[in-house]
Structure 1
Amino acid sequence: MPPKPSGVLAPERAAGHTALLIIDMINCWDFPDADKLLPRAAAIAPRIAALKARCRKAGVPVIYANDNRGRWRSDFPALVEESLANNSAGAGVTRTLQPGPDDYFVLKPKQSAFFGTPLELLLRHLDARRLILTGVASDQCVLVTATEAGMRDLAVVVPRDCVASQSASRNDIVLRQLEEFQKLPTTPSSRIRLVPRRRGA
């Protein structure tokens, strides 16, 4: 079950004009190659959780972007519940990254977190101009989302320790692509600078 409301309102404006995007980590892992991707997702989940905790403390909003998997009557709370009831490894990832009542979410029909979703409008509402992209798969949904973010003139950081693909070699290839061809930083999550929210803001 999602945690009870904390009483802390989600920020109306993103501290440091930054938002954290967690892609496809809340999942039932019932797709082809899921058996290869799930262990790697489980390995990065604690690091994403630590980054999320830092973001929340700094007033940086957290947005979950997840596939609707062609289920047009689905919603995010139902996906969380289904994931928690699923196999133990997938449920463990969801428990590690349990969405809070102050977090945001979008459901996406395709790989990009922008295509067919209100993400662009949400970022505009939050005045977020920099995205920290985390999650899976790095060479599919993360890569496409990073590309589309760049097309919208958003700054993008992809922390190398918070993304994964079906194999280490595939992940290394896309990280090199992001760095060399798209000129995006892949700074480790612990070294990403977050601007704290000012008191009274």
Structure 2
Amino acid sequence: MASSSSSPPPVLASTPAAGHTALLIIDMISCWDFPDAEKLLPGAHAIAGRIAALKARCTRAGVPTIYVNDNRGRWRSDFPKLVEMSLASGGAGAEITSALLPGEKDYFVLKPKQSAFFATPLELLLAYLKARRLIVTGVASDQCIWATLADAGMRDLEALAPRDCVASQTPERNQRFLRQAEEALLVRTTPGPRIRLPAKR
């Protein structure tokens, strides 16, 4: 058997993140068939175009995108299949997925609970990307976004949640999240178009 020294090290990410920054898109690729989905879908639909615009800026700047989605099917989930199912479901959900269609160089992570960090390889992926600054977008702001931001803080990562790129079941809940994020988590909520990204490559 070959020694471990003769084998190349595993590579999770071949190119470091520009500006040590990564974009997270949380729970936006979905079939919207879960409890409360009908309340969350309008907010997600409203922010999809703005997240897509931010993602386009990030891609041009060399900032990687990581899609984070709930695990479906008792750990038999497949992210490309989820994209396919979402597109086939039609309606606003398919429109969201079409606007945010993953590219070949994007990454994805499946999560079993609210936080993008809990029981996922996200922390290891960020280490390979050399990313220490996270732009966190998606839904639901006061659930999965909140948990992810809190876990990022515990890992000494800088995080921001652009106020025009997050949503919850109601505008009131989203506004409450934005206040608490700034006051309790010390997370900036700078709108997407005003976020400073590395110079274009």
TM over 0.5: yes
Q: Partners of 1:44 and 1:74 in 2: how far apart?
A: 25
1:63 to 2:66 alignment: yes
Q: Partners of 1:40 and 1:142 in 2: how far apart?
A: 14
Q: Partners of 2:157 and 2:182 in 1: how far apart?
A: 16
Map of 1:18-29 to 2, 5 A cutoff? 18-29=21-32
The Cα RMSD (Å) is 1.1
Secondary structure in structure 2 of the residue aligned to 1:161: coil
1:165 to 2:168 alignment: yes
1:151 to 2:154 alignment: yes
Q: Partners of 2:51 and 2:97 in 1: how far apart?
A: 12
Task: Point out where structure 2 has 5 or more consecutive residues left out of the alignment.
Answer: 1-12
Letter of the aligned partner of 2:33 in structure 1? D
Partner of residue 196 from structure 1, selected from 193, 196, 199: 199
Describe the superposition over 1:93-139 as per-residue Cα deviations: whole angstroms up to 9, x where unpaired.
00000000110000001111011110000000000000000000000
After TM superposition, which residue ranges in structure 1, 4 or more long, deviate above 2 angstroms? Answer: none
Letter of the aligned partner of 1:54 in structure 2? R
**1:187 aligned partner:** 190
Q: Partners of 2:61 and 2:14 in 1: how far apart?
A: 10
1:130 to 2:133 alignment: yes
Residues 15 and 197 in structure 1, CA contact (< 8 A), matched pair in contact too = no
Question: In percent, how many aligned pairs have the same letter?
Answer: 70
Q: Partners of 1:102 and 1:14 in 2: how far apart?
A: 12
Map of 1:34-113 to 2, 5 A cutoff? 34-113=37-116
Q: Partners of 1:77 and 1:41 in 2: how far apart?
A: 20
Residues 45 and 97 in structure 1, CA contact (< 8 A), matched pair in contact too = yes
Secondary structure in structure 2 of the residue aligned to 1:19: strand
How far the C-alpha of 1:69 sits from its partner, in A, is 3.0
How far the C-alpha of 1:181 sits from its partner, in A, is 1.1
How far the C-alpha of 1:197 sits from its partner, in A, is 5.3
Q: Partners of 2:37 and 2:52 in 1: how far apart?
A: 21
Q: Which has the larger radius of gyration?
A: 2
TM-score, length-scaled by structure 1: 0.91
Describe the superposition over 1:70-105 as per-residue Cα deviations: whole angstroms up to 9, x where unpaired.
431111101101111113110010000000011000
Equivalent residues, number: 189
Letter of the aligned partner of 1:132 in structure 2? I
Letter of the aligned partner of 1:85 in structure 2? A
TM-score, length-scaled by structure 2: 0.91
Task: Point out where structure 1 has 5 or more consecutive residues left out of the alignment.
Answer: 1-9
Residues 17 and 130 in structure 1, CA contact (< 8 A), matched pair in contact too = yes
